[in-house]
């Protein structure tokens, strides 16, 4: 998290035209106040600052935090307000903005799984309100420059318009962008609903066509049948499928739900690991050492059906090599789940996992 925040602070400090920030959680803690102070400073210097926060993800943040930003000239929009009388769209409490995007001058985008919070999690109802996390959080963001930044900008402005934010003052939101580096980058954004499961279609397609390896980390793993079938079929045709999942979670129920799927995956040849030294919050994958993705999308029903999400897909051997190095490092901090050990675990955990899985579509 600290490396990502350092990159975000640097991008904000060097911005000259505008800063667009979209985050599921923005908290009024030390980290959130550092962002607020810097954004207010940039606004005062004439840089246009626009912020979208999720009204449920940030429900514990006092209104005074956002009012201070507004008083300083920053335009702020709460996504899908909890109060149905305040929402411009058809109201639905489960439709959330789970994206984490920072765009500066239309030239730099930083995206991934990190919220604006010293202690962040998927749900404010489960989040502990402490200044220091009880355990280190392991997450991944990436910085992107070049033509792909325009696609993140479009997603931000589309959500701003749909939430009926104030008219954004004229800025150079789409500057001419030259290609940076040799990687091919595709921006994949999804909206709530069965017909907009673009990030999941992306995952299923990549897994289905994998030939050699699938190395994935995910923080909330409650896969649907399509994902399960794609993973087990890949293992069945000899693909090296390794998945690192949380061994520690901010939600015990989600941990029980994810473990419900272990037996089927292990029997098919999928290798499973639980990260044991940190609370894993990353959502990444690298396939065949050439296809990689980093973003906000969890392997659960909330991400699939109810959330606005965004991932970057990168086609680059060099980038995939760096992703593989990170994956190997995470493996070193993880415990492999063995099938024989798993099949012989006590009855109580089995019953608990089965029972929690009944309600998995609401997690």
pLDDT in tens, 55-107: 999 999 999 999 999 999 999 999 988 876 666 566 667 889 999 999 999 99
DSSP state of 173: -
Neighbours of 357 (CB within 10 A): 18
Structural element, H or E, at residue 327: helix 317-332
Do β-strands 271-275 and 307-315 pair in parallel, antiparallel, or remain unpaired? unpaired
The whole-angstrom separation of Cα 17 and Cα 47 is 5
Instruction: Decide the pairing of beta strands 240-246 and 213-217.
Output: parallel
Q: Do the bridges between strand 100-104 and strand 240-246 make them parallel or antiparallel, or are there none, so unpaired?
A: unpaired
Count of Cβ atoms closer than 10 Å to residue 242 Cβ: 18
CA angle 166, 24, 97 (to 5 degrees): 65
Whole-number Å distance between alpha carbons of 130 and 133: 7
**Segments of the chain scoring below 70 in pLDDT:** 84-92, 119-135, 193-196, 362-363
Q: Which pair of structure tokens corresponds to residue 169?
A: 């003052």
Cα R_g (the chain), whole angstroms: 20
pLDDT at 93: 75
Bridging pattern class, strands 213-217 and 334-337: unpaired
E-only strand ranges, the chain: 18-23, 48-54, 75-79, 96-97, 100-104, 108-112, 137-138, 141-145, 184-190, 213-217, 240-246, 271-275, 279-280, 284-287, 291-295, 307-315, 334-337
The pair phi, psi for residue 90, each rounded to 5°, is -60, 125
User: To 5 degrees, how large is the angle CA 5–CA 120–CA 258?
Assistant: 125
Total Cβ atoms within 10 A of residue 307: 25
Which sign, positive or negative, has the C-alpha torsion 295, 301, 302, 308? positive
CA-closest candidate to residue 101, choices 170, 230, 242, 4: 4
**pTM score, two decimals?**
0.91
Residues 6 or more apart whose Cβ sits within 8 Å of residue 170: none
pLDDT for res 85: 65
Active site residues: 98, 100, 105, 281, 283, 288
Query: Which tokens hold the place of 304?
Result: 């699939």
Beta-sheet pairing, 291-295 with 284-287: antiparallel
Helix, strand, coil distribution of the chain in percent, nearest 5: 35, 25, 40
For position 2, what pLDDT does the model report?
Answer: 84
Domains of the chain: 2-162 (3.30.870.10), 184-362 (3.30.870.10)
Q: What is the pLDDT of residue 122?
A: 38
Cβ within 8 Å of residue 171, ≥6 positions away: 17, 18, 48
- Extract the tokens encoding 104: 């500066």
Tokens of 165: 């934010």
């Amino acid at each position: 998290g600290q490396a990502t925040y350092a990159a975000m602070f640097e991008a904000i400090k060097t911005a000259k035209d505008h800063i667009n920030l979209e985050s599921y959680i923005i908290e009024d803690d030390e980290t959130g106040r550092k962002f607020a102070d810097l954004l207010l400073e940039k606004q005062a210097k004439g840089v246009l600052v626009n912020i979208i926060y999720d009204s449920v993800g940030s429900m514990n943040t006092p209104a005074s935090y956002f009012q201070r930003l507004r008083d300083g000239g920053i335009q702020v929009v709460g996504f899908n307000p909890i109060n149905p009388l305040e929402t411009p769209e058809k109201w639905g409490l489960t439709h959330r903005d789970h994206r984490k995007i920072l765009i500066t001058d239309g030239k730099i985008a930083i995206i991934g799984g990190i919220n604006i919070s010293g202690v962040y999690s998927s749900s404010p109802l489960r989040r502990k309100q402490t200044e220091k996390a009880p355990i280190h959080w392991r997450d991944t963001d990436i910085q992107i420059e070049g033509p792909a930044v325009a696609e993140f900008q479009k997603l931000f402005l589309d959500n701003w318009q749909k939430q009926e934010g104030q008219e954004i003052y004229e800025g150079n939101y789409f500057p001419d962008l030259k290609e940076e580096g040799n990687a091919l980058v595709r921006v994949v954004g999804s909206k709530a609903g069965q017909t907009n499961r673009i990030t999941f279609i992306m995952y299923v397609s990549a897994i289905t066509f994998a030939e050699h390896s699938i190395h994935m980390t995910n923080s909330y793993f409650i896969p649907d049948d399509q994902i399960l079938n794609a993973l087990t079929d890949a293992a069945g045709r000899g693909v090296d499928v390794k998945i690192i999942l949380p061994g520690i979670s901010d939600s015990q129920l989600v941990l029980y739900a994810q473990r419900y799927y272990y037996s089927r995956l292990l029997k098919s040849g999928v290798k499973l690991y639980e990260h044991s030294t940190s609370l894993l919050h990353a959502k990444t994958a690298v396939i065949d050492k050439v296809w990689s993705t980093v973003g906000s999308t969890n392997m659960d029903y909330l991400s699939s059906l109810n959330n606005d999400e965004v991932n970057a897909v990168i086609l680059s051997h060099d980038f995939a090599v760096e992703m593989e190095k990170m994956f190997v490092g995470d493996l070193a901090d993880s415990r492999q789940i063995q099938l024989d050990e798993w099949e012989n675990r006590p009855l109580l955990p089995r019953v608990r996992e089965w029972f929690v899985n009944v309600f998995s579509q609401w997690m």
